[in-house]
Amino acid sequence: MNRPHPPVFRNRAKWAVSALLVIISTAQADAGHHRFWLASQHDFGAKRGFYLDFENDSEGNAPCRLETLRLILGVGDGRNWQFPSVTPKWKYNRDYSVKAAMTPGGAELWLDGQKVAESRGGFAPYKDVLTAAHIPAWAGGLAEYIIRQKSLKITGGGTGPLAVSFDRDMARPLPLILFEPQAARRLLWQPKAGVAVTVEAVFRLVRSPDLKTLAPLIDRYGQSRHADWPGKIKSDTQLKKTAMEEERRLQSVGFPEGYDRYGGSKRAGWREKGTGFFRLAKRGGYWWLISPEGNPTFYLGVCTAPGLSWEMTPVTGRESLFEWLPPKGGLYGAAWNPTAWGQTGTDYLAFHTVNMIRKYGAEWERKGNASTARRLKTWGFSGIGKWGGAERLSSFPVLWRWDVPNLVRHPDIFDPAALAAFRESIRKQVDSRKDDPFVVGWSLGNEYDEIILKTEIRDILKMGEGVPSKRALVAYALDSIYGSDLARMGQAWGVQVENHQSLYAAQPQPPDADIEKLRLFYADRYYAFIYRTVKEFDPNHLYFGFWIVPGWWENEDDWRVGARHCDTIGYDRYANNFADEQLLRLIRESDKPVLCGEFSFPVWYGGRRGFGLYGTWAGDEAGAARSYTRWVQDAARNPYCIGLMWFQYRDQALTGRGPGGGPNLVYGEHYAFGLLDMTDRPKWQLVNGMQAANLKAVAWRMKAEGE
């Protein structure tokens, strides 16, 4: 997104939402861990299923070495895991064949026709999608080797044999494989209890090359030099022609009729009284967002727009990767930033900004803003989502608390001085837009960062007796959990207490059940303070909470306590379906409207353009449009959902959007999330499909309401 809007802090290395959700760049994860699943269908916590994988670890930022690479078969019987494994003397550039045989009595691991390990114990199938050729999100660390899976074959089980070839992936040029070494597949194969299963795979180990021998890897337009496809930009003349082609397409379509300037529908057949601000209404059991003019709205937004000079990729220390870099002065100076992500010492560059300057010249910023508004309106979007904003487009500004000191991960919610600073921070951010009708509503913080953790509570309880939050937590536990019984509390917490003061001064070890109660007590006070303060300074706008991610929390109670302190429950969900049973249950239980602040199906392009493979990927732009349509239709039919926001407006740089800096190929995320590519060109198959779905959304909701 464009400054002054804050950058998107979405470090997905810490996410663990579902088995299908890949949430960081596999090229730049924790450098100390590397995993590659040849085949995986398991629930580790439930000790069920199996995985056949490579595992390796290293110290610090050193790459994992070939001689420590382990081949492991994990087999769960519902009670325990067994791990037959081998660490042979691997060789580069030769094919290996591996076989895993699992029976009700045990498991065997074979390598090149020889049994190398075995274990006793049964096999309890785990019925879920089977994943192959996959690097899990948390374990894409650096390695001196690349694993290239060639095939997978499974016999036995309940749905018959399975055979998969990865020849197309093996044919990718090495530079493209470096950008994304996996070629993950999600396969519909289901095991059956009590039946022997045999898994066979062929793979090859390739030495990771010195990047300097392949450089440059990125062309002057921010595209891979080793990739080609119809329409790839190869000249400034061609780039300018795309602007002319876009103009022709937009003119031929025009703005859709029947919508007010805020995205409200004038064709729904009913309206509410306009108040000048967005608000909520319930009609026929269905929640609706009501536009400032009083028209029912199913909000469809795009995050990070217009993003004129954000996101950026780090350049310092790896200049050789780029075929051409623009000068840091003059008109192109706007594409550079020496302090992105709050860092110094690393220069960042936005290639899409460079391309807009090429297309539009000195007026690139004005034309970039204007084109954003025109595009979104033409494509049937209500406005902008999170992390962005432009004049005369509805948006969702996110509040931050960077200027408020933390006690551990959050401010001391019981300290009057901390609360005064927090209040002033919120006031300053809200004040300038409290009368703006284009603000749909506020939120504060984002996702996991706003979850109160059990470890956080334990850390507070280890602090000194003068810390206000410690005193408040201890007093709450004494009164609400132990009925003011000092002796009983001291015994349960493992401390000697004579009076209240000695309890405040103690270094306790409360049981987990008490920690959970204290955590929810703290969270309730924290969310209540924010909600109350935002409403105090701006009673006209809605409040959406902190975009909780179902599954990325301590437990379901985080949804419940947050839901009490917002007008609409804002949440993010990267998954193949709009909602699962757990989410639907929580939504019904909360009995409040909900709005999904981020979802996406970034295009993989078969790995042939250099982008990373995301967990909810689409094979091509048409596939992404189909997934978008399915989500919009399902959400529009849900009585509680009032809208969705696609992440995001532009593709990310192939070399990563940071943070970071140095010689590595990718820093941070590098996915094709965008409606636009790096040359500021719309993905027409995607946006045309989105437009068709957007213009049907209100009708889908009206029909569901009438059924």
What is this structure's pTM? 0.92
- Report the pLDDT averaged over residues 197-201: 97
pLDDT of residue 32: 81
What is d(CA 15, CA 358) in angstroms, rounded to the nearest whole number?
A: 38
**552 and 516 co-located in one domain:** no
Torsion of CA 498, 500, 501, 507, to 10 degrees: 80
Q: Is 25 contained in some domain?
A: no
The per-residue pLDDT of the chain, averaged, comes to 93
Report residue 500 as tokens. Answer: 């209240």
Domain that holds residue 252: 245-397+546-706
Q: Is 80 contained in some domain?
A: yes
Residue at token pair 């999608």: 129
Q: Is 8 contained in some domain?
A: no
pLDDT tens, residue by residue, 109-142? 999 999 999 999 989 999 889 999 999 888 888 8
| Beta-carbon contacts of residue 172 (< 8 Å; ≥ 6 apart) | 607, 608
Residue 77 belongs to what H/E stretch?
Answer: strand 70-77
**138 and 49 co-located in one domain:** yes
**558 and 593 co-located in one domain:** yes
pLDDT tens, residue by residue, 651-692? 999 999 999 888 999 999 999 999 999 999 999 999 999 999
**320 and 342 co-located in one domain:** yes
- Report the pLDDT averaged over residues 572-591: 97
**535 and 555 co-located in one domain:** no
Q: Is 3 contained in some domain?
A: no
3-state secondary structure of 589: helix
**567 and 523 co-located in one domain:** no
**181 and 262 co-located in one domain:** no
Higher pLDDT, 16 or 358: 358
Residue 538 binned pLDDT confidence (cut-offs 50, 70, 90): very high
**562 and 672 co-located in one domain:** yes
**190 and 256 co-located in one domain:** no
**566 and 527 co-located in one domain:** no
- Report the pLDDT averaged over residues 578-586: 97
Domain end marker among 482, 516, 540:
540
The angle that helices 468-476 and 454-461 make with each other, rounded to 10 degrees, is 110
CA distances from 23 to 173, 259, 675 (A): 25, 36, 19
Q: Which amino acid is at 651?
A: D
What is d(CA 560, CA 565) in angstroms, rounded to the nearest whole number?
A: 9
> How many domains are contained in the chain?
3
- Report the pLDDT averaged over residues 19-29: 30
- Report the pLDDT averaged over residues 100-114: 96
Q: Is 466 contained in some domain?
A: yes
What is d(CA 46, CA 124) in angstroms, rounded to the nearest whole number?
A: 10
Q: Is 218 contained in some domain?
A: no
Report whether pLDDT(235) > 70: yes
CATH of residue 672's domain is 3.20.20.80
Report whether pLDDT(14) > 60: no
pLDDT of residue 668: 92
Q: Is 236 contained in some domain?
A: no
Higher pLDDT, 386 or 27: 386
What is d(CA 404, CA 415) in angstroms, rounded to the nearest whole number?
A: 12
pLDDT of residue 19: 26
CATH of residue 142's domain is 2.60.120
% of the chain with per-residue pLDDT over 70:
96
Q: Is 18 contained in some domain?
A: no
pLDDT of residue 472: 98
- Nearest one of 694, 436, 396 to 570, comparing CA atoms: 396
> Are 33 and 138 a contacting pair, CB within 8 Å?
yes
pLDDT of residue 31: 54
Report whether pLDDT(27) > 90: no
Q: Which residues of 147-160 are buried (b: 16+ CB within 10 A; e: fewer)?
A: bbbbbbbbebbeee
Report residue 389 as tokens. Answer: 């904003």
Report whether pLDDT(28) > 50: no
Report whether pLDDT(605) > 70: yes
Report whether pLDDT(631) > 90: yes
| Beta-carbon contacts of residue 544 (< 8 Å; ≥ 6 apart) | 396, 441, 442, 443, 566, 567, 568, 569, 570, 595, 597
**565 and 617 co-located in one domain:** yes
Report whether pLDDT(531) > 70: yes
Q: What angle do CA 304, 536, 285 make, to 5 degrees?
A: 70
Report whether pLDDT(17) > 90: no
Q: Which amino acid is at 56?
A: N
Residue at token pair 């494989």: 177
Residue 214 binned pLDDT confidence (cut-offs 50, 70, 90): very high
**170 and 287 co-located in one domain:** no
Report whether pLDDT(390) > 90: no
pLDDT of residue 87: 98
CA distances from 477 to 18, 336, 505, 516, 554 (A): 34, 53, 15, 11, 20
